[in-house]
Structure 1
Amino acid sequence: MSTAIPDSAPHAQLDALYREHNGWLRGWLRKRLNDSADAADLAQDTFVRVLLARSAGGLREPRHYLATIARGLVIDLYRRRSLEQAYLEALAQRPEAYEPSAEERALILDSLLAIDRLLDGLGARTRAIFLAVQLDGLSYEKAAERVGVSVSTVRKHLARGLMHCLLLDDA
């Protein structure tokens, strides 16, 4: 019984990409983040994304490709920190008797980040309408007043938002 040897070419390409550009990428990230540890973490995450995408070979502009991935990761990092800060500020306003455990906080923060990712692909008006109805519990009429649109527009945008979330949830 013979065993197939996996094609090592993609691994060699990723290894070469990493050796040639990791130092540059970490420096590029360090300038933007002013933090060596975060820069190193995001550089590693960038190469993990390249590995998962299996796209290390045949890149005409590898630094541009890596910077594009890293830029998205920087945005995600800042978004996560901003959301976490807003959550911690909201928690600070609550009486101590209602303080969630560290585990509950982590679960809530993960849920908030998942919701943020779901809503990220919506346009500003659709997101505002979706949040007004789903989160704030406004009627279609009140949401229409708040956003300054008709009730039929609220229905259309709400349907678009729900469909967007359902399609992403299935992915």
Structure 2
Amino acid sequence: MTAPASAVAFDAFYRAERARVHGFFRRKVGRDEAADLTQEAFMRLYGSGRFATLEYPRAYLAKIARNIWLNRLRQQRRQGVLYPFDEERDGVTPPEQERRFEGKELRRAYWRALRPLSRKTRRIFLMHRLRGMAYRDIADELGVSCKAVENHIGRALARCRRVTARLT
């Protein structure tokens, strides 16, 4: 027995939008409560019975999420809690100069890791990582199999992991 078309469509919508809504709540209320509020937003949308007829379900979901957040703020204000402290979000951040230095060091380490690889392996890895190409597209462009692309990228990733393990 298969699920009704609207349930299948909602499942696909949920998979596509969950990370965005979760990110919204994570920024607004912190990591601890974000998952529960994300679930509540999707349950309200599905429970409304309007999903199948909505022209812009993403905007409707965003409105539901914003309303949930605002209701939560109002409730906290009544209880006297304005903004809870989230250590990951509100903690001290390292100076910008240190971040740039660490980023440069990591990039240099990656280039040192990739340099000894064969030209083809390095090219395939960079096509995937820098240009964002899918394995199938790389395989088609270079005239190799998808499995060959996987093997080349696997070699490059293993080499990068070994180099970054030495840095930490």
TM-score, length-scaled by structure 2: 0.42
